[in-house]
């Protein structure tokens, strides 16, 4: 949970940590929700420009999940149809390719990865790149929203 609880907080907070880690041999790992990230995708430009040691692992579940779950809970509590809870919150059509977005900023990226057996290998490779080069990288991991 973010201290600021604001939209887009995750990537911004991670930039600050990565800046503090610059030239220390450490890397910052940001486990980033896709919807939260879309409020500030230009943060990748900042990471690339300042060559920050930042690994962004994006949970690409194709939805503003927090909003979906809230709408679902309210619908259930009020005995209403919950079949349309993702109207206005779905990021699935089109599904965002965060690795392509990262590459557009000159950042090394893996994915989108939809096969669980490939995740570990990609993360290891990207950690090595961030540690050796002191630069940012992204791993786009395709997941399903909880309960789907």
CATH number at residue 104: 3.40.50.970
Handedness of CA 134, 127, 140, 37 (dihedral sign): negative
- Using DSSP's 3-state secondary structure scheme, residue 29 falls into strand
- Give the pLDDT score at 89: 73
CB-side neighbour CA atoms (13 Å) of 11: 26
Residue 1 lies in a domain: no
CB-side neighbour CA atoms (13 Å) of 44: 24
Residue 2 lies in a domain: no
In the predicted model, is pLDDT for residue 148 greater than 90?
A: no
Per-residue pLDDT reduced to its tens digit, 28-85 = 999 999 988 999 999 999 999 999 999 999 999 887 767 777 777 888 899 888 887 7
Residue 86 lies in a domain: yes
Are 40 and 8 a contacting pair, CB within 8 Å? yes
Residue 148 lies in a domain: no
Residue 147 lies in a domain: no
pLDDT band (50, 70, 90) for residue 5: low
The domain of 96 spans: 9-142
Residues with Cβ < 8 Å from 74, sequence gap 6 or more?
Answer: 80
* Domain count for the chain: 1
Residue 111 lies in a domain: yes
Residue 3 lies in a domain: no
């Amino acid at each position: 949970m973010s201290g600021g609880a604001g939209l887009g907080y995750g990537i911004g907070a991670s930039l600050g940590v990565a800046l503090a880690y610059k030239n220390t041999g450490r890397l910052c790992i940001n486990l980033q929700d896709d919807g939260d990230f879309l409020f500030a995708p230009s943060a990748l430009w900042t990471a690339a420009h300042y060559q920050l040691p930042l690994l962004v692992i994006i949970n690409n579940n194709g939805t503003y999940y927090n909003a979906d779950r809230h709408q679902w809970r309210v619908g259930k509590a009020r005995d209403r149809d919950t079949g349309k809870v993702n109207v206005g919150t779905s990021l699935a059509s089109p599904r965002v390719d965060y690795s392509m977005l990262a590459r557009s900023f000159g950042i090394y990226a893996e994915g989108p990865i939809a096969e669980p057996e490939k995740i570990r290998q990609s993360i290891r490779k990207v950690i090595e790149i961030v540690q050796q080069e002191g630069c940012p990288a992204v791993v786009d991991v395709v997941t399903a929203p909880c309960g789907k």
